[in-house]
Structure 1
Amino acid sequence: MLTHGLTLPIQYLKGVGPRKASLLRKLGIETVKDALYYLPYQYEDRRNKKNIFEIKPGEFVTAEGKIVQINEIKTKTKLSIIEIVISDGTGFLKAKWFNQIFLKKLFKEKQKIKLFGKTQVDYWGKYIEILNPEYELVDQISNHQNQNILPIYRLTEGLSQRQMHSIIQSALELAIPFIDEYLPESILKKLNFPYLKEAIKYVHFPPNDMDIKLLNEKISLFHRRIIFDELFFLQLGILLMKQNRFYEKGLSFNPEGKLLKKFFENLPFELTSAQKKVIKEILDDMKKTTPMNRLLQGDVGSGKTVVAVAAMLAAIEAGYQAALMAPTEILAEQHYLNISSLLKGLPVNVLILTSSYNKYSHLIWSGAVDLVVGTHALIQEDIRFKNLGLVVIDEQHRFGVVQRGAIRKKGLNPDTLVMTATPIPRTMALTVYGDLDYSILDELPKGRKPVLTEVIKPENKKLVYKMIDDEIKSGGQVYIVYPFIEESETIDLKSATHGYEALKKLFPEYGVGLIHGKMSSKEREEIMKKFRNGIIHILVATTVIEVGVDVPNATLMIIIHAERFGLAQLHQLRGRVGRGIRPSKCILLPYKLTEEAELRLRAIVNYSDGFKIAEEDMKIRGPGEVFGVRQSGMPDLKVADLLRDQFCLEIARKEAEILLAEDKNLRLYPEIRALLEEFWRGKIDVFRTV
């Protein structure tokens, strides 16, 4: 087990002191243990040692020789250059350092020195030289420095690689006696892992016979052992959270099923096989006496709302209330309209509760309302339910942990169904949502066709205008989406209002409408009604139409300033077309392409599958940004990468499951239990109920 010796503040480590400690804190290194787990991001191979005579310009080399000359050169610009010439008997090599005057006192003639760096021909064409090379004085080389594979660390200004090597070496010398093995021998043998002490030592200073490719690709056994440990503690905590739920007393729903039967009979379409399967999973969960905590994920247009309504009807028929919380007022309005339409003719009272619709909140407490659709307004202190049994949270990644918990507190351990139209790769399902059971809608309704997506440059706008005209003449309707509502003085964006006025002039024969978030809910409702009824042919919009808007006759979407939208957002927007039987297109108009924006647009053009798009988004932005890992309650990962280390994550999950099946309280493994509490400290109490 890692003991108190590793908690020594880094300032008191030999050779550090207050100044270096303040620099190390910028890198997240506050203790000796932090230093040990601050891993190199790559390794430099210094085994390419050559005689000076053999060295050619443009090579990365290791050269060794005696200093035969030392010069200090001062330029007209007051730049100080320390220059040395070394020889190994086969030739001469020059080295120069800029503004490092202390080297003049450090170097001595006849001193033996090693140089590492890229060679070039000097200004006069006489010598081969290396500018600002790494160096080692041979008589001062320690055991760790006397190696040919050198770790390279990410630094902050004021720290050099040489200083970092010395700090890590001191940390290892102090810490090695305190590092004990805590993984069971059975796991170590099964996974062919080295002991922790060996892994930490060699991940920083690898043996000289190591394959540099393995090291730089982070697939050496040393890396894998340390990465596994972090993911193992992550998975143990998540599984314990899931285990804790089995100790909670919840509601059991056993409706007759008449209401659900009538609902299914009234639907104007047939449920997909995936919807039927997921509805069964949810209803089976709701019958249990422990609270349901299930994630429902499905791509754009896969029919999540119908599944959620079925679950809410089961709760209502069992005598409880249901609530659906959406992240925006517009999405709440869309849900309210869609759900009211789906429940037409059924004895269910539906209410919307937002900042705009809040006059009838007293009906919730009285029990006169069966189903409430709302925004964050639902979690206000003065909003009370009579008997809330089921909470549905839509687009849940837009809510923080506190908000999700607040709506559940409106009832007595109600069942919870969280939904997302942003497909979640398996990596994230095992981490951020690893304590949830989850269902996947992996089938689109019959007749849904893929949307052709292409990028068109702004200079070819005439082509886009023709596409709009052709689409409307053939019976379709068009969305034109802008990132902002009004012109900004600081950002050169085409605004929705400006575009709306221009399009009215360009297409006077067609109905052109405008919808955005600053309109009143009544105005938005009226505009959408006209668009659905075909009175408006071209709807100019901001991202208010991103989710929930369903107009089957809309067949063309044009996204202005497409580079300003995130990948998931582009996918959601594209999902507003292709909802009918007609072929549909999505046209992207970028104006200023960054490298990242180009990657996003390439991904949205090449892929239509939401899971693949989610994977690409993770590659571009990283899991933390895509799925809000930082606000999810997860501990920060220092060495593991959820995308790169997916295979290791699944192994860690399996081993954690085996260990907990053997000992659910980890009483037999006090070292693991202590380290687990340390890993999750400040996030959750993983041993709350065990």
Structure 2
Amino acid sequence: MSGIHVVQSPDRSIKELKGVGDKVAEKLSGIGITGMNDVLFTLPAGYIDHSVVNLNEAPDGANITIEGTVKTEPQVAFFRKGKSRLTFFMDVDGIYVKITFFNQPYLKSKIINGEFARLYGKFNRNKLEINGTKLIFEAGGGYQVKYPLGGVMQAKTFQKIVRSAFETATFNNDLPDTLKAKYKLMPIKDALHALHFPDSPDTVKAARRTIKFYELYHYQLKIMERRQKERVRSDRFIVDYDIDKLKLFIDTLPFELTGDQKKSVNDICRDFKQNISMHRLLQGDVGSGKTIVAGICVYAVKTIGEQSAVMVPTEVLANQHYESFKDTYGDELVIAKLTGTTKPAEKRDILARLAAGEIDLLVGTHSLIEDDVLFDRLSFIIIDEQHRFGVNQRDKLNNKAYRKNVLYMTATPIPRTLSITSYGDMDVSVIREMPAGRIPIETEWRRFKELDYVLGFVKSEIDKGHSAYIVAPLIEESETLDLKNVYEIHEIFEEYFSPEDVVLVHGRMKAEEKNEAMRSFEALEKPLLVSTTVIEVGINVPNATAIVIFNAERFGLSTLHQLRGRVGRSSKKSYCVLVSDPATENAKQRMDIMTSTTDGFVLSERDLEMRGPGDYFGVRQSGLPQFKVADITEDYRILEVARDEAVKVYESNNL
């Protein structure tokens, strides 16, 4: 159940423990507890504090543990259907209190007039009554432990098995003494014992902090181990580019690089000069200029006569990258494009030129990993939106490389904690600054009753000769959800404007239909594109100055931000209108956040807070680590410290 092993022979059968026979072992196996390590890391899901409280200080309505002297004989009254009520009075801290237990008549023989009793229940201060839940027979009160056992056995029974595991297991793994001293952490065995057999809130807190650090530190060590395997050392990986030619090339560009772009170029070029394979993530918001950085580095590779490749997940994105690289670098680089729709004759020509080393940069989709795509000397691979590719697909392209240097790019700003956990084996470059001249997109939130205003606003942008995106969450009508579907919205806009002005795109259309629809919008033949979220990544129409997102509450902040990034791609003022009647506080909060910032990094942090790491990455979530105690959202400070310590270990081993 836990990936961290703290004992010798962690898979040693639980049948060796007291109280575990075949039947009990089978029950526990059903919830994933088969080995010694599993028992130790099946940690309590919560505690009930049975520390005795002073009744004079107890709040009304609180569940409390009290002790005192029984003052009357317990009386049991029976009702219909076997229901019962047991009552008696106690002297608690000098207060005469009525005690009631429902449907526990068997307790009568255990409650003796004139003797001491301890019990747990809900306190009604006005009536001076306690509705009892349980009598407590253990001395000293303390905690009742609750375990996530799915009802297969009682917590007390499992606690006995845990006690036997502590007596039987040999602990062989702990944190280094230097770290325990530096961060005031407990030995791992003591921390686990404190969580299973707690004696105070402070001890539980200290134990949880220790286990959190332990989990995060060991996870980071694993990432460093993976990093070590990825980073093969060989002089073969050195791209000894001509720095003078590269500087001259950068000077000819018709724009000034931002500070973050310069830093990212320097990061990548420094990697080129190392005798270790590059494994870097370049993250930056939509429109931050990642393609500019990539193109400069492609040119660096060209200065030694070698090749680069860009692999992207969709044909639309391939077209966008190809056009962008051609516009910016077409005079200096020989660029070709290869996708699933490339005609056979053109493909044969590209493959021949590629193998002969005549193409500097090949942009394409999954087509790049086909066996007949052979490079002369591929020394720089760029994989965009890499989470959309499987590991095998990425490896297949990497295996074609002469020098293995890989740059992963993403337009989804990644919160720092997820960057550390999901991409910890990569070096990371971040572009936060936007290029000069970009005007922030103005975002507003409107209700459905303001649809006339929204239509009028879109018309005002179209009248200026601009284009607009209209986004719907669904393709068809839903029986269970009160949402506008793409056909309804298409109809509304066709009626308000005209069929000649509006084009429809959604995921179920045939590729030819979709491509033709996109082409008519990109060519400015039709100013309005009504679409589902297929436009989230890849389409680039600088003339588009408005995007309207219907039922915006259906989307996470990151998706809304990606959609908003379809506009604001020119010097024209651009707008995003969220149309939503949010039913929940969480949805309302998302609308407020979207209208208050256009910073993708701020939004990504808020998105992670609101949705949690499990939902944040969508297809990537399966790769996120599962921790027993640590939470990467709440415990990011511990995560960062644990990473720093793991990096020190990694670096000291690689000096």
User: Shorter-chain TM-score: which interval?
Assistant: 0.7 to 0.9
Q: Structure 1: which 5+ residue stretches go unaligned?
A: 666-690
The 2-side partners of 1:265 and 1:489 are apart by: 59
Cα offset, 1:267, TM superposition: 5.0
| Aligned twin of 1:640 | 630
One-letter amino acid of the structure 2 residue matched with residue 91 of structure 1:
Y
**Does the 8 Å CA contact 2:333/2:360 hold for their aligned counterparts?**
no
| Aligned twin of 1:117 | 121
Report Cα offsets for 1:258-301 as digits up to 9, x if no partner.
98678657755433232122122212212333211111011121
RMSD of Structure 2 on Structure 1 (CA): 3.6
The 2-side partners of 1:382 and 1:596 are apart by: 50
**Does the 8 Å CA contact 1:348/1:370 hold for their aligned counterparts?**
yes
Report Cα offsets for 1:108-134 as digits up to 9, x if no partner.
34286532232359xxx9882426x24
One-letter amino acid of the structure 2 residue matched with residue 469 of structure 1:
K
Provide the secondary structure at the position in 1 that maps to 2:190. helix
Counterpart check, 1:94 vs 2:99: yes
After superposition, the Cα gap between the structure-2 partners of 1:460 and 1:135, relative to the gap in structure 1 and judged at 3 Å, is farther
One-letter amino acid of the structure 2 residue matched with residue 108 of structure 1:
K
| Aligned twin of 2:189 | 197
Provide the secondary structure at the position in 2 that maps to 1:563. helix
| Aligned twin of 2:596 | 606
Report Cα offsets for 1:521-548 as digits up to 9, x if no partner.
6655554454455442222122222123
Counterpart check, 1:477 vs 2:477: no
The 2-side partners of 1:384 and 1:610 are apart by: 38
The 2-side partners of 1:96 and 1:363 are apart by: 87
Counterpart check, 1:583 vs 2:573: yes
State which of 546, 554, 567 in structure 2 corresponds to 1:556: 546
State which of 90, 102, 108 in structure 1 corresponds to 2:110: 108
| Aligned twin of 2:136 | 136
| Aligned twin of 1:352 | 338
The 1-side partners of 2:540 and 2:272 are apart by: 29
| Aligned twin of 1:37 | 41
Cα offset, 1:62, TM superposition: 0.8
Cα offset, 1:570, TM superposition: 0.6
The 2-side partners of 1:409 and 1:3 are apart by: 39
The 2-side partners of 1:328 and 1:402 are apart by: 17
> Normalized against structure 1, the TM-score is what?
0.82
State which of 40, 46, 54 in structure 1 corresponds to 2:50: 46
Report Cα offsets for 1:15-64 as digits up to 9, x if no partner.
4555655565565443332232333344444335245x987852322123
**Does the 8 Å CA contact 2:28/2:152 hold for their aligned counterparts?**
no
State which of 6, 10, 18 in structure 2 corresponds to 1:14: 18
Q: Structure 2: which 5+ residue stretches go unaligned?
A: none
232-241 or 256-265, larger mean C-alpha shift: 256-265
Provide the secondary structure at the position in 2 that maps to 1:270. coil
State which of 265, 271, 274 in structure 1 corresponds to 2:260: 274
Superposed, 1:167-178 pairs within 5 Å as 167-175=161-169, 178=170
> Normalized against structure 2, the TM-score is what?
0.86
**Does the 8 Å CA contact 1:50/1:62 hold for their aligned counterparts?**
no
Provide the secondary structure at the position in 1 that maps to 2:237. coil
Cα offset, 1:229, TM superposition: 1.4
One-letter amino acid of the structure 1 residue matched with residue 191 of structure 2:
A
One-letter amino acid of the structure 2 residue matched with residue 282 of structure 1:
I
Cα offset, 1:584, TM superposition: 2.5
After superposition, the Cα gap between the structure-2 partners of 1:570 and 1:22, relative to the gap in structure 1 and judged at 3 Å, is farther
189-198 or 439-448, larger mean C-alpha shift: 189-198
One-letter amino acid of the structure 2 residue matched with residue 243 of structure 1:
Q
After superposition, the Cα gap between the structure-2 partners of 1:601 and 1:10, relative to the gap in structure 1 and judged at 3 Å, is farther
After superposition, the Cα gap between the structure-2 partners of 1:173 and 1:150, relative to the gap in structure 1 and judged at 3 Å, is farther
After superposition, the Cα gap between the structure-2 partners of 1:632 and 1:308, relative to the gap in structure 1 and judged at 3 Å, is farther
Cα offset, 1:325, TM superposition: 1.7
After superposition, the Cα gap between the structure-2 partners of 1:549 and 1:629, relative to the gap in structure 1 and judged at 3 Å, is closer
Cα offset, 1:166, TM superposition: 4.4
The 1-side partners of 2:548 and 2:297 are apart by: 36
| Aligned twin of 2:396 | 406
The 2-side partners of 1:263 and 1:396 are apart by: 28
After superposition, the Cα gap between the structure-2 partners of 1:197 and 1:129, relative to the gap in structure 1 and judged at 3 Å, is same
**Does the 8 Å CA contact 2:8/2:172 hold for their aligned counterparts?**
no
| Aligned twin of 1:184 | 176
Report Cα offsets for 1:93-118 as digits up to 9, x if no partner.
434355xx7x7389634286532232
After superposition, the Cα gap between the structure-2 partners of 1:79 and 1:372, relative to the gap in structure 1 and judged at 3 Å, is farther
The percentage of aligned residue pairs carrying the same residue is 37
Cα offset, 1:86, TM superposition: 5.9
**Does the 8 Å CA contact 1:181/1:195 hold for their aligned counterparts?**
no
One-letter amino acid of the structure 2 residue matched with residue 443 of structure 1:
E
One-letter amino acid of the structure 1 residue matched with residue 271 of structure 2:
D
| Aligned twin of 1:238 | 223
The 2-side partners of 1:48 and 1:629 are apart by: 49
| Aligned twin of 2:199 | 207
| Aligned twin of 1:58 | 61
One-letter amino acid of the structure 2 residue matched with residue 329 of structure 1:
E
| Aligned twin of 2:321 | 335
**Does the 8 Å CA contact 1:578/1:584 hold for their aligned counterparts?**
yes
State which of 280, 289, 293 in structure 2 corresponds to 1:307: 293
The 1-side partners of 2:102 and 2:150 are apart by: 20
| Aligned twin of 1:685 | none
Provide the secondary structure at the position in 2 that maps to 1:206. coil
275-284 or 248-257, larger mean C-alpha shift: 248-257
Report Cα offsets for 1:217-248 as digits up to 9, x if no partner.
xxx33222221111111122222332334543
After superposition, the Cα gap between the structure-2 partners of 1:391 and 1:31, relative to the gap in structure 1 and judged at 3 Å, is same
After superposition, the Cα gap between the structure-2 partners of 1:180 and 1:293, relative to the gap in structure 1 and judged at 3 Å, is closer
Superposed, 1:537-686 pairs within 5 Å as 537-591=527-581, 593-627=583-617, 635-663=625-653
Cα offset, 1:561, TM superposition: 1.8
After superposition, the Cα gap between the structure-2 partners of 1:318 and 1:543, relative to the gap in structure 1 and judged at 3 Å, is farther
State which of 74, 85, 88 in structure 2 corresponds to 1:69: 74
One-letter amino acid of the structure 1 residue matched with residue 239 of structure 2:
F
| Aligned twin of 1:415 | 405
**Does the 8 Å CA contact 1:274/1:443 hold for their aligned counterparts?**
yes
After superposition, the Cα gap between the structure-2 partners of 1:370 and 1:353, relative to the gap in structure 1 and judged at 3 Å, is farther
Report Cα offsets for 1:571-610 as digits up to 9, x if no partner.
1111122233333221112356345434433332333211
**Does the 8 Å CA contact 2:333/2:361 hold for their aligned counterparts?**
no
Aligned length: 640
One-letter amino acid of the structure 1 residue matched with residue 283 of structure 2:
Q
